Chains A and B, each alone.
Chain A
Amino acid sequence: MSIPDNLKYTKSHEWIRLEDDGTVTIGITQHAQELLGDMVFVETPEVGRQLRQGEECAVVESVKAAADAYAPISGEVVATNPDLESAPESINQDAYAAWLFKLKPANAADLDGLLDAAGYQKLLESEEDA
């Protein structure tokens, strides 16, 4: 299972990358895309929307099911991935390249509360045992 060391993670299977300009980029993990299967539709939040941590803000739908994605931290949506409308399958091809949206964090320290790669690995192992 691919879990890059340079990213942060949530229990709801989003990945988060802190960019040099202080914004964060958010997508769903390789594990999440494997569970969902072939992606056929993605809905991202409007640019400018203020999100609270844990708020439902995007939908990824595979042939199998619809899944919500949540805001990993509070902040303002500053960009969405324009490629996903015509190519939702890019999430299956590379879940860590096919980002959903970018946030300007309300409070950069919120990032410290997220899982690191080792923590996410442990989460997946515990889910497997469940």
Chain B
Amino acid sequence: MQLKTTILNPIHREMKAKMVDFGGWDMPLHYGSQLDEHHRVRNDAGMFDVSHMLTVELKGESARPFLRRLVANNVDKLVQPGKALYTCMLNPQGGVIDDLIIYFLTESHFRMVVNAGTADKDLAWMQARRDEIDPKLEIVSRRDLAMIAVQGPHARAKVWQVIPGARGETENLKPFQAAIWGEYFIARTGYTGEDGFEITLPSQHAVDFWRALHTAGVTPAGLGARDTLRLEAGMNLYGQDMDESTSPLESGLGWTVDLKSDRDFIGKAALLEHPVTRQLIGLVLTERGILRSHQKVVTSHGEGEITSGGFSPTLIQSIALARLPLEASAGDEVQVVVRDKALQAKTVKYPFVRNGKSLI
């Protein structure tokens, strides 16, 4: 199968990236050292090509009523233009079809950003639900846009160095707010646990923007560093920490599910019906080794499984997210089966790292 490519693909190759097949997309894994890229993001500024993710515009008078039905978080929290909301989109069984960000622009225009691997499925699902509510509501797929995430303590300053004119519009953005500056859509969001922007722009300008950021000292970083950064930040990865068979309430995403309002969203009835028996919790390995996804975890309350695991470059030890029985609590001693051995680990509250600092 022919891999899909982003507009920046030739630049990644020029910058000597090791490329991998990521859900059908030909994407950079690293540009030499994943560890160096990780540390640059924690200590300075790095940039990720996230153009494989899909921007979807929702246009029409019924945009908000549609979203009230479509997603688990309460879109009525969005009142200020530019405000963002992280949410899951659930199936009727309460499983996660995808996790996404919704931006409120105007009452008849919302913008969503969905995962690359689920984009086609998401669009089909949204179109079918749209037809039930208001066939006139427009759902527009924006493959003409590129997206670059610039992350790290110096990320914003370096973006302003490249586009000084955007500073006024974006300097006072709070986390999870976005502003439009010319052709740039600039959001103070990210997937690393660091400050920074995710910038959406027309594809034809992405190469120049990437090069200008590079000249300003922003380090290109690949999917490898993106994964270790998000794991340290305790952020879920779709398809790994949750999927269509898992409830958001058993995936550490209860804070994004609105069960308080009387709004009836898809999946709500199933969530209310099924008792929660498992939870996502952090693990820190207390002996030598590396935790990996799918390893079995043995606790005094029963067994569970690691959903994401790896080496934490910031903590210099192995960490993981694991789905364990609800009775497990932070501070428990557990065993993880790694090949033929049972290794000692401790349960912890996550995130593990925020803004460059250990939280454990």
Contact = CB atoms under 8 A, between A and B. Distances in A.
Interface string B224-256: 100010000000000000000000000000000
Interface in B25-43: 29-30, 33-35
Interface string B259-298: 0000000000000000000000000000011101000000
A40 B311 contact: yes
Nearest to A88: B311
A43 B338 CA distance: 12
B215 to A, nearest CB: 26
A41 B224 CA distance: 17
Label chain B's interface by main secondary structure: mixed
B228 A63 contact: yes
B290 A37 contact: no
A85 interface: yes
B313 interface: yes
A41 B311 CA distance: 9
Contact of B224 (A61, A63, A89): A63
Contact of A37 (B224, B288, B313, B339): B224
A38 B313 CA distance: 11
29 contacts: A37-B30, A37-B34, A37-B224, A38-B33, A38-B34, A40-B311, A41-B288, A41-B290, A41-B311, A41-B318, A43-B288, A43-B289, A59-B339, A61-B289, A61-B290, A61-B311, A63-B34, A63-B224, A63-B228, A63-B310, A63-B311, A63-B313, A64-B29, A64-B34, A66-B290, A66-B292, A85-B288, A89-B35, A92-B33
A92 B32 CA distance: 11
Interface string B2-21: 00000000000000001000
Contact of B29 (A37, A40, A43): A37
Interface residues on A, range: 10 to 19
Given A41-B290, A43-B289, A92-B33, 12 more contacts: A37-B34, A37-B224, A38-B33, A38-B35, A41-B289, A41-B311, A43-B288, A61-B311, A63-B35, A63-B224, A63-B311, A63-B313
A40 B290 CA distance: 8
Contacts of A61: 289-290, 311
Nearest to B33: A38
Interface residues on B, range: 10 to 19
Contacts of B288: 41, 43, 85
Contacts of A37: 18, 29-30, 33-34, 224
Interface of A: 37-38, 40-41, 43, 59, 61, 63-64, 66, 85, 89, 92
Q: Which 7 A-B pairs have the closest CB atoms?
A: A40-B311, A38-B35, A61-B290, A41-B290, A63-B34, A38-B34, A63-B311
A84 to B, nearest CB: 11
Nearest to A85: B288
Contacts of B224: 37, 63-64
A63 B228 CA distance: 8
Contacts of B318: 41
Nearest to B313: A63
Interface in B136-167: none
A59 B341 CA distance: 13
Nearest to A59: B339
A81 to B, nearest CB: 15
